Chain A
């Protein structure tokens, strides 16, 4: 059975304090590892897709990386507007279903 585990469950950072969120995965025939951002009461918003180990993608203060067992979402010099829950999800070949992790609730304190 596919599994995606995220840590930490919650993270509080001062504005400008960089850190990383972790996503460990066991997905059969991984076709992609996906990161979403979710604000309270809203649907998840797509951020990145990573397809192979060693791949990196960046968007503003966020950078996502992928190894054979983990993905990291690095946040550099975060701002209060980066506060959200960040969800990681894995999808396997021949499977329309994404397996989501439980998310990391990120709070950036001004």
Chain B
């Protein structure tokens, strides 16, 4: 299984809602990532988890809260988002030896109204 699975595929939420994005991989990878991508722009790194510990937070606003319950799962909790947070949210994973060979999920297209 070489897939990274993200749910939901699409999400529409209001600015007062709380929602969560989920990501799962069963490749035994020890590094997991959240990226944000706006249309026609490259992916922007948000968070990196390495061996289930948060190793990088790219100064992301606290309305985004990551969680890594175990080595296969990664969540992104969303609260009080702004319309400018609308984007494609991508999860990726990599083995501990090859951080650069990222396997990406198909993403969650998020719209904040």
Give A contacts to B, CB under 8 Å: 31-32, 34, 36, 41-46, 49, 87, 89, 91, 96-98, 100-103, 105
Task: Identify 26 residue pairs between A and B in the complex whose beta-carbon atoms are under 8 Å apart, listed by A's number.
Answer: A32-B100, A34-B100, A34-B101, A41-B109, A43-B4, A43-B104, A43-B105, A44-B43, A44-B104, A46-B102, A49-B100, A49-B101, A87-B42, A87-B43, A89-B100, A96-B31, A96-B50, A97-B45, A97-B48, A97-B56, A98-B45, A98-B100, A100-B43, A102-B42, A103-B42, A105-B40
Query: Interface SS of chain A: helix, strand, loop or mixed?
Result: strand
Give B contacts to A, CB under 8 Å: 4, 31, 40-43, 45, 48, 50, 55-56, 88, 90-92, 99-107, 109
For the complex of A and B, the 4 pairs showing the least CB-CB separation, nearest first, are A43-B104, A100-B42, A91-B100, A43-B90
> How many A-B contacts at CB < 8 Å in the complex?
55
Per the bound structure, the CA–CA distance linking A32 and B98 in Å amounts to 10
Chain A residues lying within 8 Å of B91, measured Cβ to Cβ, are 43
